Each structure stands twice: as C-alpha cells, then as structure tokens.
Structure 1
C-alpha cells in the first residue's frame, strides 16, 4: 500500500510497516515527523506517526540504511476499503452512461488502489501488487463504478481526499474472504490443500497448453459461422459442459462450437425454436450461416432463439456458436434438455452431446478462477496483507454467490456478521463502519414461489444491521431482472454514501427507506408499522408487493393501502391472515413502498417459516 500517490487516513495515527534485514535500523520521516524502530528476527518492522488533518501532498522517506525509498504525492484524507464480488468490481466503462461518466472523472483527489486477483493458502504479509491511480478520464474507465460514485459523493459532502482500496473478485463467495479460524478450519490443512491445488493447476495448465498447441490461433475468425466450413482438425467436446472440463482448463477468450441436425422438407418450411443451453458469458448463434440470436454477459441464462424457415433447409443443417468468456468458466453449459431443436408444431429433439470445438482467441491461461469459491484463499492474499491499515470504513457488495439455495442464504446470516467482526479485529477498530448493498432484483432461476434464496439472502443481510456502525443500501428497485450486473451503479454509490454520511460521519441524513417493525393481525387484515420518514407509493397508484397467508402457510397476493403511518394489507383469499411478506422473491420489481426520501422499503416477512 505504501507507494507514490497514496492516501492515508486522517485523524488516526499513521502506521507504516514493512520488512528489512533482521536487526536493521529503520527510520520513517513524514513532513517533519520521524519514527525509528529495529527490524525483528523475521525482518518485520512497524512504526507509528502522529495523526494529521486532511491535506497534502507530502513526501514520506523510509530508510533502512541500505536502500532508502521516498514516496511522493502522499495525501491525507479518508480511506475506504471496497470489497466483494463482480458488482463491486464492475468498472465505469461497462456501466450506464459510461462515456459521460468517464468524462466527469476529473478529480485527482479521488484515488484508487486496485489489488490484483491473488490467493494463498496462508496469510500473506504483502500484497501481490497494485498502484495508486488518481482519477482522470484517461484511466478511470477501469475503476470500480460503485466505489468511484461513492467516493464522488463523499468528496462533495466531506471535501477531503478519498482513497479507495479495491479488493474484489467476481463470483467470489463470502467464505473466500474469511480467515480460517473464524470458519473453524485447520490452518495447516488449508495450507496443504493450497499446495495440492497449485500442483493440480500446474498439471491442468500443461494439458491445456498441449491441447491449444494443435492450432495456430487466427488473427481473424470471421467466416467461421459458414454452413460449409471445413472443420477438419477441430476438437470434439462434450455439450453441455464448460470447456474447462474438456481439456481447456484456465482458458479465457473466444471459442467456437459447431454441430448439425436433420430436418424434413416439411419441417424446414415451418421454422423452429432452437435451444443452445446456458452460455458463459456471451454468444452469437448462427444456423446455416444466418445469425439467429445473440446474448451479452448472461452466464446462467438458457438461450432460446427463433429460427425462420428462410434459414433452414431439408436435410442437414448447421449450428455455429461463437462464445466469448473473459473470466471464470467458459462455454456451453446447463441441462441437456436446454439444447434442442423443436420444429414448429413438432416435438422437441435434443441435440447431440458431442460438438466440434475450436478456440479462436486466448486472452489468458491461468487457473485462478475457481479459487474465489474456496475458503480463506482470497482473505489470505487480498485482505490480510492490509494488516491494521487505518481506514474510514468498508463498503461491501457481495452475496450473489451465496444465494444459490435457501440453505446457503440462511448460513449467510451467521457468516456475514462473523466476517465483519473478524475484519474489525484485524483493523483494530471494533466499530469500523461497515456498509453494504442488499442484493438487487434478478431472475436467478431458483425462485420457487414461497421459497426464494435471494429473498432469504437479503433477509440475512438486513439481520446483520444488528451490529453497531453498519448500514445497508437497498437496491431492489434499481436492478435488472435479466442481468445480474445492473448498469445503474450511480444510485448504488449514492445510497452507500448516504449510509456513510450517517454511520461514519454522524450527519443527520435519511439513508434508508421504511423498515418493517411489527404486524398486528385483527379483523381479517394485517396492520403493519414501520420505522420510516413517511410512507409513499413510488410513482403513485396502487401499493404492490404484499402477500398474506393464513394458518395453512399458503401465501396469496394481497391488496395494501397506506393509512397514516401504517400499511393495511388484506386479501379475499386469506380471511384470517397470520403472516405477511413484502417483496419476497428473487426479483420483486412490483414492490413500490418507499419513504418520503424516495428510498425503497427493505423486503421483509413476519413469519419464520
């Protein structure tokens, strides 16, 4: 972290640490303040300099008597750690209004430090790399959009330099960000497992390189969709199944899949529906050289495309799929029944399970992708090396990877507060402000009516507000039901900044919408009370998103109205309600209860069923 352009936390003792030769005398000088110490037997050393108000730029000199270093352009301000998975990692250049937003990134007192994706079986003392970068249109497109928009709001309200430490990894589970002790994992066994993983990875990469060596990758793959393309020399690969399982472990880039199917003249004349499975991440699909569909960045969405009769022929027809994957698993996956042709008016026919396959472009060949799901590995390399770095607080956007089932989502109720306590202990800050984004609306495919993993995960997030110095940005109204990566990161950043102003800076601002307090069931209705700055229907009209259930535990849609400071909920299908739920689904887009501030009510349920 100690480098040119760094931001140090104001109003806290400035801690500086590193390693030198054992026994070396180390002196740190910073704008007239000096501290000295002696490196220990392992070379480790640490000093503390007096706290300072916001300001700069300054220079810091670190001298071990052998190879002194001088760090320039050092600012004193507020440092925020931004962590989580892809929605926190998501860059400005892929967010809404990207061109205009990048043009606005002209404030050099906002600085980002991106920790490279890295993992370790044991806690590391030093980061794998990274540098401090001042915001400017030339570089800010790659900054975390949520973190940058958050920083921009704080620059307006606080007027001090803001440093963002970006420690994120798309697709990561919360277990990967927690230490071994907190999870009851034997540290020695975990270190041994990591060594085994490295050895396995080395073998898998050797195999992948050998498989790729059979081809010379082209400079241009245009034309590979043609029906008559000669595929002699292409590999065979099982479909469905990620290409990692087909001998191309660790490959990111572009690859093509091809197969054929037969049609009668009558079938060809009617058109058909084509299913090409779930594709990680982006595809363009052709039939007989005619483009029939394309889907961007939807790794878990089953592709279903209409194929017109004009693209078909009697006899053999060719499917070509160009797949782009730039991180994580790649290729055609999902269930076998999701790959099919269904002539209009006819039966569905599954496609063969072996397709022709050939890579066209390799952007990376590394086996880090699955490490973001393994306990402790990311913590050891991307959080622990921060040591006790003084920070103003943490912003966190994660949970999608722990919402695969209700059981996972319930476990998060204990994991999340445990992680917060552990991080606070590392940073020696028992009340370190910790703010997070509640999961946005998205059709995950796992919502089974009354049982929604995403709703339960949101509930687990809300339950963590019982910890002191915490805040939550509700985002159910600014998601994208068809995209797990909604592009509206501006409002996410603004809502996190509101929470920061209240929790971290003590400002008297409203940072949350209505919060459910209790339900009273009398006279065939539910009377709900809230902690709120008022109750309003977003956009006017009818209040939506409520459900009621009786003793049979079967929920039915309900009508709701606002009466003063309460919401009254009733349903003709539930004459004697005993439980109420609001926004209780993976994608509660119809839920429209907000506060006077316009901030949405957080999803809730009165039952514990």
Structure 2
C-alpha cells in the first residue's frame, strides 16, 4: 500500500496525464484561449481507456481515432487558415472536454535563459507597455520550471491566457514585444509559448538522444540519463522539497534575536568554497553594521553585487529585497523606520539551484548607504547552511538544471513536441561563454535536434549576446566575442536569423532592460526568414577582405541601399575596429565607409593582415549599419586561436 501511495504522489508531482478513471484527458497546454498553428496539420492528443474511440469536432471538421493498448490517442486535423475564435470538443465514451476561444494563427516557442525569462514588469517602459498590452489576437502560455530525468508527456501546470494588463507583467518581455511587433505587421493571431530558465547552459535544453553527439556526453551512449546520472527524480524531489520548506525561514534565522554564535565564519563577498564547494542548496549569512544615531528613521539602500542564484535579504529582521535569478545586481531600498542608530543586523539567505553559489562582487561593491555615506559590508560574516545537496546524495551540481544534459529538455520542451509551431526564438549563450568554442558544436546541435523532434525545418531565430562588463581600454581576447562568433557561424544553417543588440547592453547588468528593441529586431528577422517579406531583416554581413598598402578593404552583404553609421555621421567614421600585422597584436584602427565598403587602417600597423570589429565583451559603440538601420554583427577576418579553444 505504501508503495502505491508513493507512486501516485510521484505521478502527481511530475504532472503526467495518466488516465486513472478512464476519462479522456489532454496535456495542459491544450486549453481555452490556445492558438493552433495555421496552414499545417493540427495534432491533438491525450489519454483515454485502451481502445476507446475519441472524436474531435473543430471548425467544421469532425475526426475520430482510437486509443492504443497504452491508452494514448492522437488525431490529426487538416490544415486551416487563420481565424477564430472557435470551440473544440473532444468526446470519449464517458466524458466530453470542451475548449473555448481558440484562435488559428502562428505559434512561436520562446526559450533560453534569464534574458528570455526577464519579465515585462522589469523592462524599460514597463508601465506604458503593460497598460497598452490588451490584445485578444495575442495569446500567452508559460511553461513552469521543472527538472526531469525522463522525457515527460505534459507540463506540471499552466494554460493559455489572453494578452492583457493582468497577464503580461510576469510574461517574457522579449517574447511579448516580439509577438506584438509580428501581430501588428501581419494582423494574424500570435501564440507565444514561453519556456525558459535563467542561468542555464545550452546542454540542458538538448535531448538525451542528441546529447550523444556532444563530445562531453558521448561516453554515455547506450545508457539512460538516470543510469548516467546515478540518481532519479525521487532524490531531486526530496531535495527541492527541503529547499521550499527551508527551516531557516520556519525558525526565523533572520530575526535579530536569533542566536548565531555557533555559526561558522567566512569572507563576504565570495563564492561558496571549502566545505560548501560543489554544493547546491540554501546558506544563511549574518553580519552587523554600526550606524550613527542620525540613521534613525532614514531611508537607505544596500548593495550586494550579484548573487548566484537567489537571495532574500533582511535588515533588522525586515525583508528588504528578493531576486530569484542569478547575476542580477542586488541594490535594495531600505524604507524609513528599519534602520536605527547603533548595531543593525543584516541577514542574507542565498539559494543555489546549480553551479556555483554565493556572492559575485568585489569588496568595494558591497555596502550599506544612508544619509549620503557608505558603510562597507565586506569582511567576516557568520554563515550556516540549512539545506545541502550532499545530504541527498548529489555530487557536484547534479540537483540544478545545469547538472547534466537534457534535464530541462525533458520537462520543458519534450512535452510540447508535436504541438504545431511556426518557429523558435532563442535568447541564451551567456552561460556558455566560458567555453564559447564548444558552442560552435552545441548551438547547431540543439537547433537540428529540435527540428528533428518536431519533424520539420522551422525558422530558428536568436538574440546575439549584448554588450556587458567594463569597456576594454585596449583590443584583446574576449570570451563573449568568441560566443558571438559561434552564433554567427550557426547562421550557416537554413532558416536561421540573428538579432544584434550590442548597442543596448548595460555594462554593469547582464540583463539589459531594453527588451522592446530585442523583440522588434527578432520580428524583423522573422518577417524575412519565416514570412518571406522583402526586407533586410538584419544588419550588414562581413563577406571578404582585400589589402591595399597599409589599408584593409572590407566587403559586406545585406547592405540594402548602402552602408551607414548608426549616428548618421556625415563623415561616415565607423567605430569599433582593430587591426593587426603578422605579430597578431591588435591596435585600435580608424575606419570609414567608401561606397559599399569599409576601409580600415592604423599608422601603427604598416603591413596589416587582419581586422576585428567589435571584438570585445562590451563593444557598446559599434555603429556600422545598413540602409534599414540594422547593426552589423561583431566579426573578425583572422582564424587565430582564441581564449576558449580547447576548453
């Protein structure tokens, strides 16, 4: 009996559609308000009693099918033109399921890491965008975050919603602006399926079958993912449950009166090390800061830098901040009435879901500010873990989404396979920048994998890495430039496109708030690649180089009516170029537009052999555009060994 109860609980937790009462059921993403893909066969599927006849009525079409011995059924409806709203009924022998307010249009899957997850409520111009977001022609579906060690047939929860001010604030900003731009241009219903997780590697989004083509996983060929991992969903479930019911919250470790004399000491800011190295889980930190009497009743702020992955921050027992994704800068407002003269307690609960955990900042980036004065917080803090992955049998980072290949594909992509989509937009890469050279293999692998899973070659569009980190004083190597190069190289695949956004990055924040331009640029790509519109869609593309004395002449494609600069300078000076001779030492170069070409030179290099454009972590001032104003991607003419090759 106990085994039966445990199995039932696990089935519920996984969110699988298992017919326990012989009624017709469907995955949760078949719901009211959904958008079905136009102009292609429409697949509808679910579970019923074995060999039960299931009948679908939709938009003037009636079709029936029979469930197999396993209780699974699937019915194909004919291609249909856009329109709606329609009603769909699915009839079995004992019940009828009805879905209302269905549209036929174009469905886009929107996936990636935190910049895709970044919600509209946090974006630049959020208030106005949300107020104007009511549009019954756009429908939204968010796939809940879930790690799965086996391929799932359904998502844990969720349903389609109409686009309006009550549904858009927590939806992906980039996806929303993309859908808005498309609907405005095409006047066709748009369905947006948002399935992303911040701080994730591309490997976790790739199927286990395709992972065998990744050199990092090829040794597991012939084994299941769980066999390769050495643990199962039951172990992960126990760990995640402990994180959600953290005893530190229950026992109020944040209270100033809580006794921390037994806690260990460590330096903050720092990543987890020593006994915490390779752990996931929850760790609490405590320190005190002494303030003058004048601080009483004043407002203040606390700066912690970035925290990996999540934090809840308390001052004198009062919560002042909470961010649940990694790398965002923690700069929290302290309302009046919390600070006091004398000793003030500061408590930070850090939750790490996978990979490294802790504080990512330099000592001078961690401080409390009140009354115009900064009080340093870097130094020795007390700490105590409340949940550690090693307690549950995990080694390394196994409990997080990056612990192994395919953990997010299984629960967040695979259930959707077969649901008709027009294409995919993808915003990821930051997490793979340290091994950018390997991304040359991994990115095409994922694209081909998803296309193989769906069974057709849909358009796949992505956002290139934005500018990030401090401006470089001199030309040099760059992991982020190498990742952008890997993204550029992936354009060799058919029906692919890229939005270049080096001009809208933020040096101190990996999450640029301008997501409207991201969506607009993705939509421009879609109009050209997915819809065949006569537009440029994206920026100039480097084609070839020729040497003339001490100058290098560059040629480009996709220029439209000609090259220009983003600032429309009459002098047509192009920023962002570096040039080098045989010694491979790059110096900043002068560059100008001459007809449909760019001339690059430097008095310091008499015999140039190579040119690089925007080859930096933060090429914020790149300004080469085509006649439609789209930016050129960073590129290089050489193939010299980069920083990440061999990693």
Measure the CA separation in 2 of the matches of 1:527 and 1:606: 11
CA distances 1:397-424 after superposition (whole Å, capped 9, x unpaired): 1111111x2xx11111111111111111
Alpha-carbon distance, 1:201 to partner = 3.8
Alpha-carbon distance, 1:295 to partner = 12
Alpha-carbon distance, 1:234 to partner = 6.1
Task: Give 1:387's aligned residue.
Answer: 417
1:560 aligns with 2:561: no
1:88 aligns with 2:116: yes
CA distances 1:195-247 after superposition (whole Å, capped 9, x unpaired): 715455456568768972696338xx7xx7xxxx6553466254434599499
Task: Give 1:258's aligned residue.
Answer: 287
Task: Give 1:101's aligned residue.
Answer: 129
Task: Give 1:55's aligned residue.
Answer: 83
Evaluate the alpha carbon distance shift between residue 121 and residue 297 of structure 1 in structure 2; reply closer, same or farther with a 3 A threshold.
closer
Give the alignment partner of residue 103 of structure 2, picking from 60, 75, 79: 75
Larger mean CA deviation between 192-201 and 11-20 belongs to 192-201
Give the alignment partner of residue 359 of structure 2, picking from 329, 333, 349: 333
Give the alignment partner of residue 226 of structure 2, picking from 191, 205, 209: 191
Are the aligned partners of 1:114 and 1:167 in contact in 2 as well (CA < 8 Å)? yes
Measure the CA separation in 1 of the matches of 2:179 and 2:475: 38
Give the alignment partner of residue 251 of structure 2, picking from 207, 211, 216: 216
Measure the CA separation in 2 of the matches of 1:416 and 1:460: 8
Are the aligned partners of 2:153 and 2:415 in contact in 1 as well (CA < 8 Å)? yes
1:37 aligns with 2:72: no
Larger mean CA deviation between 23-32 and 461-470 belongs to 23-32
Task: Give 2:162's aligned residue.
Answer: 134
1:543 aligns with 2:574: yes
Task: Give 2:299's aligned residue.
Answer: none
Evaluate the alpha carbon distance shift between residue 64 and residue 444 of structure 1 in structure 2; reply closer, same or farther with a 3 A threshold.
farther
CA distances 1:74-105 after superposition (whole Å, capped 9, x unpaired): 11111111111111111100000111110010
Measure the CA separation in 1 of the matches of 2:379 and 2:472: 25
Structure 2 residue matching 1:171: 3-state secondary structure:
coil
Measure the CA separation in 2 of the matches of 1:107 and 1:128: 27
Measure the CA separation in 1 of the matches of 2:473 and 2:235: 36
Measure the CA separation in 1 of the matches of 2:223 and 2:485: 35
Alpha-carbon distance, 1:340 to partner = 9.8
Task: Give 1:26's aligned residue.
Answer: 54
Larger mean CA deviation between 486-495 and 448-457 belongs to 448-457
Task: Give 1:571's aligned residue.
Answer: 602
Larger mean CA deviation between 571-580 and 436-445 belongs to 436-445
Number of equivalences: 553
Give the alignment partner of residue 476 of structure 2, picking from 424, 440, 450: 450
Structure 2 residue matching 1:141: 3-state secondary structure:
coil
1:145 aligns with 2:173: yes
- Pairs within 5 Å for 1:337-376: 351-352=379-380, 355-356=382-383, 370-376=400-406
Structure 2 residue matching 1:370: 3-state secondary structure:
coil
1:420 aligns with 2:447: yes
Task: Give 1:396's aligned residue.
Answer: 426
Measure the CA separation in 2 of the matches of 1:186 and 1:447: 46
CA distances 1:389-444 after superposition (whole Å, capped 9, x unpaired): 211111111111111x2xx11111111111111111111112x1111111111118
Evaluate the alpha carbon distance shift between residue 606 and residue 259 of structure 1 in structure 2; reply closer, same or farther with a 3 A threshold.
same
Alpha-carbon distance, 1:249 to partner = 5.3
Measure the CA separation in 2 of the matches of 1:65 and 1:295: 50
Evaluate the alpha carbon distance shift between residue 206 and residue 439 of structure 1 in structure 2; reply closer, same or farther with a 3 A threshold.
closer
Measure the CA separation in 1 of the matches of 2:179 and 2:101: 19
Are the aligned partners of 2:112 and 2:426 in contact in 1 as well (CA < 8 Å)? yes
Alpha-carbon distance, 1:172 to partner = 1.3
Evaluate the alpha carbon distance shift between residue 13 and residue 340 of structure 1 in structure 2; reply closer, same or farther with a 3 A threshold.
closer
Task: Give 1:266's aligned residue.
Answer: none
Alpha-carbon distance, 1:326 to partner = 7.9
Measure the CA separation in 2 of the matches of 1:231 and 1:247: 28
Task: Give 2:461's aligned residue.
Answer: 435
Measure the CA separation in 2 of the matches of 1:134 and 1:526: 54
Task: Give 1:170's aligned residue.
Answer: 198
Measure the CA separation in 2 of the matches of 1:461 and 1:247: 30
Alpha-carbon distance, 1:566 to partner = 1.0
Measure the CA separation in 2 of the matches of 1:259 and 1:438: 42
Are the aligned partners of 1:259 and 1:356 in contact in 2 as well (CA < 8 Å)? no
Question: What is the root-mean-square deviation in Å for CA atoms of aligned residues?
Answer: 3.8
Give the alignment partner of residue 530 of structure 1, picking from 552, 556, 559: 556
Are the aligned partners of 2:471 and 2:619 in contact in 1 as well (CA < 8 Å)? no
Task: Give 2:492's aligned residue.
Answer: 466
Alpha-carbon distance, 1:465 to partner = 0.9
Evaluate the alpha carbon distance shift between residue 137 and residue 571 of structure 1 in structure 2; reply closer, same or farther with a 3 A threshold.
same
Task: Give 1:592's aligned residue.
Answer: 623
Structure 2 residue matching 1:375: 3-state secondary structure:
coil
1:377 aligns with 2:425: no
Alpha-carbon distance, 1:31 to partner = 2.6
Alpha-carbon distance, 1:108 to partner = 1.5
CA distances 1:129-168 after superposition (whole Å, capped 9, x unpaired): 2110101112210111111111111111111110001111
Alpha-carbon distance, 1:387 to partner = 2.2
Are the aligned partners of 2:56 and 2:90 in contact in 1 as well (CA < 8 Å)? yes
Evaluate the alpha carbon distance shift between residue 207 and residue 336 of structure 1 in structure 2; reply closer, same or farther with a 3 A threshold.
farther
Structure 2 residue matching 1:466: 3-state secondary structure:
coil
Alpha-carbon distance, 1:562 to partner = 1.1
Measure the CA separation in 2 of the matches of 1:209 and 1:168: 20
Alpha-carbon distance, 1:373 to partner = 4.8
Are the aligned partners of 1:282 and 1:295 in contact in 2 as well (CA < 8 Å)? yes
Structure 1 residues without counterparts, runs of 5 or longer: 262-273, 305-316, 342-347, 360-366
